Chain A
Amino acid sequence: EDKVVQSPLSLVVHEGDTVTLNCSYEVTNFRSLLWYKQEKKAPTFLFMLTSSGIEKKSGRLSSILDKKELFSILNITATQTGDSAIYLCCSHNTNAGKSTFGDGTTLTVKP
Chain B
Amino acid sequence: NAGVTQTPKFQVLKTGQSMTLQCAQDMNHNSMYWYRQDPGMGLRLIYYSASEGTTDKGEVPNGYNVSRLNKREFSLRLESAAPSQTSVYFCASSGIQGIYEQYFGPGTRLTVT
A→B interface (CB under 8 Å): 4, 6, 9, 31-32, 34, 41-45, 48, 88, 90, 92-94, 96-104
Contact = CB atoms under 8 A, between A and B. Distances in A.
Greatest chain B CB density within 10 A among A4, A6, A92 is at A92
Which of under 10, 10 to 19, 20 to 34, or 35 or more describes the interface residues of B? 20 to 34
A104 B37 CA distance: 11
Contacts, number: 64
Contacts of B50: 96-97
Given A4-B42, A101-B44, 15 more contacts: A32-B98, A34-B101, A42-B105, A43-B43, A45-B102, A48-B101, A88-B43, A90-B43, A92-B98, A93-B98, A97-B97, A97-B98, A99-B97, A100-B59, A103-B40
B99 A32 contact: yes
A97 B90 CA distance: 17
Contacts of B43: 43, 88, 90, 101
Interface of B: 31, 33, 35, 40-45, 48, 50, 56, 58-59, 90, 97-107
A100 B33 CA distance: 12
A44 B90 CA distance: 12
Contact of A42 (B45, B58, B104): B104
